[in-house]
Amino acid sequence: MTAPLETIPPGTQTLARGLAVIRAVGDGAQGLREIVEHTGLGRSSTHRLAQLLVAQGFLRHDNRGYTLGPALIELGFKALHGNPLPLVARPVLEELSATVLDTIHLAVEDGGSVLYLDKLPGSRGAEMRSRIGYRMPLTRAGVGKALLLDAADRWAGQYAADTARVPAGARPGDLEDFLTRMQTYARTGAAMDLEDNEPGIRCVAAPIRDASRAIVGAISVSATTPYMPHERMRGLVPVVRRAAGRISASLGFQAA
């Protein structure tokens, strides 16, 4: 998430503007005009920053416009492998994927959003739009609800914030219904996405905890509705919880 330029510490405005340009391209802006509209920067300043970022490898420029560059790919892989969670979780995710045949996600909370760290596509049903590095509203995604299980004081406020940016096609939902569901999820230690985020997609998710017992991530099993009747979702709860528990144990978590 980008901080307003007026809140940036003195002397760092140029850096902040360059980062804003990168984020704009990452959000899908390709042409100079789109980047200007996204960032609110002047056209000439935006052009100079974009040229510098291309020269340094942070952006690419071709006849399609601007895209993220190889320097960001390199740094992204370094950041991913600097986090122990994806490395610890991967063997468990692969085993879970082979068992359930559905799409598996690993995610963390970052800046008030779900950030996907890993994805293993399922072998049946439609491909999902999620991908590594993709962000989603916390209260819409199953993994997001799992990340919030310990934070009842945040549920209503986060729901209100996320409702203001509901993805196209998602159901706006109801606050009271959401809070009731979250109370149930907190008791069972697993959360569900009942097509809240993407029509026709359901999932079961569970939190990952570290040695301090804090929630540091979440995993989910997702599939299209024909493969996710309510009976199967209930049956997946202990399966997903066990997998999340194994990852948690590798991070030092000890169940009470």
Q: Are 29 and 66 in contact (CB under 8 A)?
A: yes
**pLDDT tens by residue, 113-148:** 999 999 999 888 667 778 888 899 999 999 999 999
**pLDDT tens by residue, 176-190:** 999 999 999 999 999
Is 167 strand, coil or helix? coil
Q: Are 193 and 220 in contact (CB under 8 A)?
A: yes
What's the token pair of residue 182?
Answer: 């979250």
**pLDDT tens by residue, 3-57:** 455 566 667 888 888 899 998 998 888 899 999 998 899 999 899 999 999 999 9
Q: How many helices (H) and strands (E) does the chain have?
A: 9, 8
Taking the CA atoms of residue 60, residue 66, residue 67 and residue 73 in that order, the dihedral angle to the nearest 10 degrees is 40
Q: What is the pTM of this model?
A: 0.71
Q: Are 228 and 128 in contact (CB under 8 A)?
A: no
**Domains annotated on the chain, with CATH:** 5-75 (1.10.10.10), 83-250 (3.30.450.40)
Average pLDDT, the chain: 88
Is 164 strand, coil or helix? coil
For residue 22, which amino acid is it?
Answer: I
73 versus 193: which is more confidently predicted? 193
pLDDT band at 171 (very low <50, low <70, confident <90, very high): low
Reduce the secondary structure of 9-47 to three states and give it as a string.
CCCCHHHHHHHHHHHHHHCCCCCHHHHHHHHCCCHHHHH
